[in-house]
Amino acid sequence: MPKVLKRFIDHYSAHLTDHTKAYPGVRETLEGLSGYKKAVISNKREFLSKRLLEDLDLAVYFDSILGSDSAGEKKPSPKPLLKVMEILSCSPDETLIVGDSNFDIEAGKAAGIKAIAVSYGYKKIEILKDADHIIDDMRELPAKLDEINSKT
């Protein structure tokens, strides 16, 4: 690993959750989705993704946590999604991605699954236009899932 990258990762790791908290409604929504298999696929390295979720007391809600180094490619490649579908034994018609970036939407489309964008992430909503659905608050997700499931 190049020296500058190691310094960055060391610093980032030491300050991972200094100014990080879950968006409003995330914890309650995850608690309410206990009947669903859930995974995190992050473009952060896996150990950082796991530690971040553990530090925020959110890791317990997920069946699998993958990072940029977990599947050989990172989003927008569909490979991480395909890997998590394999791990969780889910078919594309049983799977959807919820994300806040165009990489999430592109990866979902490339994997042949539905994509729900959240409008409050770090990207502008205009680049999320290819999502199948857009929600403005995580607490909207259960109703959106009910809507999607009733159409299949």
- Tens of pLDDT, residues 128-151: 999 999 999 999 999 999 999 888
Owning domain of residue 96: 3-150
Domain count, the chain: 1
**Range 1-14 average pLDDT:** 85
Cα 14 from Cα 152, distance rounded (Å): 45
CATH of the domain at 97: 3.40.50.1000
- Tens of pLDDT, residues 40-70: 999 999 999 999 999 999 999 999 999 999 9
Q: What is the pTM of this model?
A: 0.91
